[in-house]
């Protein structure tokens, strides 16, 4: 039993490039983002990875990233679950705003709290704690049982929904999770023990 779980953040989006808060908005990938997805797929193929199923969000940047990775692997026919639980954190009133403009309006410290704290939500949006609250049920009810059943599972999602999963897998606390960053197009490779704890973790950079 390999009990393999690979988490990958979508490639650079058009709003990543423009330094905008994205949240549940649905911009496409940039040319760089498309190449990041292809590169992630090539790196997985070079490692001989074969997946049994995949999970992604309801947002196109994660779905397209998954499609491009699976195309590189030649594994487009595996079952794919698209679930809102894996959507990016909802930034509420900040969505569509330039991050520098937000800092000028509300101050560096306040914007940093909204972006990186565990339980402080931006106006009209979600905190990371809220995001964990919707990611974790999907993980416990669908993703983890598949992995513990011996399947190799690929998850293509977003910076904050993946931070929620990393918090659980790496046993991080509300005080340590703010320092965690996940770059676009980078895959995190986990192998789990039978009791769901992490046997090994590797960062796969294209």
- Ordered domains of the chain (ranges, CATH): 4-204 (3.40.50.1240)
Mean pLDDT, rounded, for 193-200? 96
Pairing of strands 152-157, 4-9: parallel
* Mean pLDDT, residues 116-126: 93
β-pair partners for 154: 6, 54
Residue 121: the pLDDT is: 95
Q: How confident is the model at residue 116 (pLDDT cuts 50, 70, 90)?
A: confident
Q: How much is the average pLDDT of 5-29?
A: 95
The answer to whether residues 66 and 12 touch, using CB atoms and an 8 Å cutoff, is no
Q: How confident is the model at residue 2 (pLDDT cuts 50, 70, 90)?
A: confident
- Return the active site residues: 10, 88
- The number of angstroms, rounded, from the C-alpha of 139 to the middle of its chain's C-alpha atoms is 13
pLDDT tens-digit series, residues 46-87: 999 999 999 999 999 999 999 999 999 999 999 999 999 999
pLDDT at residue 68, as a whole number = 98
pTM of the model: 0.95
pLDDT for 151-165, tens place per residue?
A: 999 999 999 999 999
Q: What is the mean pLDDT of residues 196-206?
A: 92
Rounded CA gap, 167 and 79, in Å?
A: 26
């Amino acid at each position: 039993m390999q009990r393999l779980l690979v988490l990958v953040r979508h490639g650079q989006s058009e709003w990543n490039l423009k330094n905008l808060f994205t949240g549940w908005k649905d911009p496409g990938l940039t040319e760089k983002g498309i190449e990041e997805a292809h590169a992630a797929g090539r790196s997985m193929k070079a490692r001989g990875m074969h997946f049994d199923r995949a999970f992604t969000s309801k947002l196109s940047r994660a779905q397209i990233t998954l499609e491009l990775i699976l195309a590189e692997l030649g594994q487009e026919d595996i079952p794919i679950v698209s679930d809102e639980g894996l959507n990016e954190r909802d930034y509420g009133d900040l969505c569509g705003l330039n991050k520098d403009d937000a800092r000028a309006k509300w101050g560096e410290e306040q914007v940093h709290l909204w972006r990186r704290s565990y339980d402080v939500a931006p106006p009209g949006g979600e905190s990371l704690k809220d995001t964990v609250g919707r990611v974790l049920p999907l993980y416990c009810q669908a993703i983890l049982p598949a992995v513990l059943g011996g399947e190799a599972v690929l998850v293509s999602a977003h910076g904050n929904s993946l931070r929620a999963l990393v918090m659980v897998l790496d046993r991080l606390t509300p005080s340590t999770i703010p320092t965690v960053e996940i770059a676009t197009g980078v895959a995190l490779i986990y192998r789990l023990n039978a009791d769901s704890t992490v046997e090994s973790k590797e960062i796969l950079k294209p």
